[in-house]
Homo-oligomer: A and B are copies of this chain.
Amino acid sequence: MPATIRDVARASGVHVSTVSRTFSAPHLVNPDTRSRVLSTAESLGYRPNRAARALITGRTHNIGLIVADIANPFFPPLIKAAESQARSRDYHLFVADTNEDPVAEEDLVHALAKQVDGVLLCSPRMSNDLIEKLRKEVPLVVVNRPVEGLPAVVMDVAHGARTAIEHLVAHGHRDIALLGGPRGSWTNREIRRSAALAAKAAGATLTAVGPYQPTEAAGAAACDAVLETGATAVLAYNDLMAIGLLEGLHDRGIRVPEELSVVGIDDIMLSRLIRPKLTTVATPTAAAGRAAVDMLLQHDEETRTTALVTLQTQLVVRDSTGPAPAEPRTASRP
């Protein structure tokens, strides 16, 4: 039903190759012919079929972006930034959601492989081995996990976790809990490692609980486990969990930050809206989205550079942290 290149050729009395060149290499066709072709194309409502074009050129001008959970407020800013960066280079971005399921992750890479010029894997839950296999099917850029020999962009959460711990220690906290994120998350391991180091260096104890899903519900559910550590402060894997924790604490009548200080990571929009406003480690998500697209496109056009881009994080102090309570809080109260 829609007009094809042949329809346009017939209607304008030229060969299909001329029509093709009119669109993909205009300088090769006589201006008169060109404008004639363009106007008949216009009147027929013709548009080149990108999929057919991709078949022979090998370039789809599409980018895939795979994300564990679109509903996690961490991702939308990253997605938007990637979108606009891609669009500015005449690429389109296809976003897919895996529901935190590693199997769906793999399926999606396969499905996207031939329809895109590359895939951005955001916070992948799959194993490194699998990533190694998949990279043979389609160019990959990984976000939030460094992978040997693959272009990747990560946030310096180690630095963020360290400054968060130091901030707490400076407020007199000596017993700190770490609310752990999902298994398989590189970021989670990184936070844990760095926080432990920083705590040790400062003579504080760090008790980890988890793993949990990186959701608000999981944060609320982890409330008792956190309280049982006897900590006076807690660093959460991300803001969503921190906010869930805040909810749980509120329900139990525990005041923040007077009785317990809470620090999140990510600085999602929500963190400014809840009360108390959340102290958190801001991660440059938009920059990450842009950088990932840039790496993919450059990697794709020139020699395969496999750099690792590390973006800086920054502690944002708000109202959920304060001095350690003079009296240690009595462990758990039902």
| Chain A residues within 8 Å of B, Cβ to Cβ | 2, 45, 47, 49-52, 54-55, 60, 62, 69-71, 73, 76-77, 79-80, 83-84, 87, 92-97, 99, 104, 108, 110-115, 136-137, 216, 243, 247, 269-270, 273-275
Contact = CB atoms under 8 A, between A and B. Distances in A.
Contact of A76 (B52, B62, B71, B113): B71
A70 B79 contact: yes
12 contacts: A2-B113, A49-B114, A50-B115, A73-B73, A80-B97, A80-B99, A83-B96, A83-B99, A87-B104, A92-B111, A216-B269, A216-B273
Contacts of A115: 50-51, 62, 115
Contacts of A97: 79-80, 83
Contacts of A69: 80
Given A51-B51, A92-B111, A70 B80 contact: yes
Nearest to A73: B73
Contacts of A99: 80, 83-84
A299 to B, nearest CB: 15
Given A51-B60, A83-B96, 19 more contacts: A2-B113, A45-B137, A47-B110, A47-B113, A47-B114, A50-B114, A51-B51, A51-B115, A52-B55, A55-B55, A62-B115, A79-B97, A83-B97, A93-B96, A94-B94, A94-B96, A95-B95, A95-B96, A243-B273
A108 B84 CA distance: 12
Contacts of A136: 2, 45
B45 A51 contact: no
Contacts of A216: 269, 273
B77 A71 contact: yes
A129 to B, nearest CB: 15
Nearest to A250: B275
A199 B2 CA distance: 49
Contacts of A114: 2, 47, 49-52
A164 B104 CA distance: 41
A238 B113 CA distance: 38
A101 to B, nearest CB: 10
B84 A80 contact: no
B80 A76 contact: no
Q: 6 closest pairs, A vs B, by CB?
A: A71-B76, A95-B95, A94-B94, A51-B51, A49-B114, A70-B76
A285 to B, nearest CB: 11
A76 B111 CA distance: 22
Nearest to A276: B275
Contact of A70 (B47, B70, B247): B70
Contacts of A79: 70, 97
A55 B49 CA distance: 9
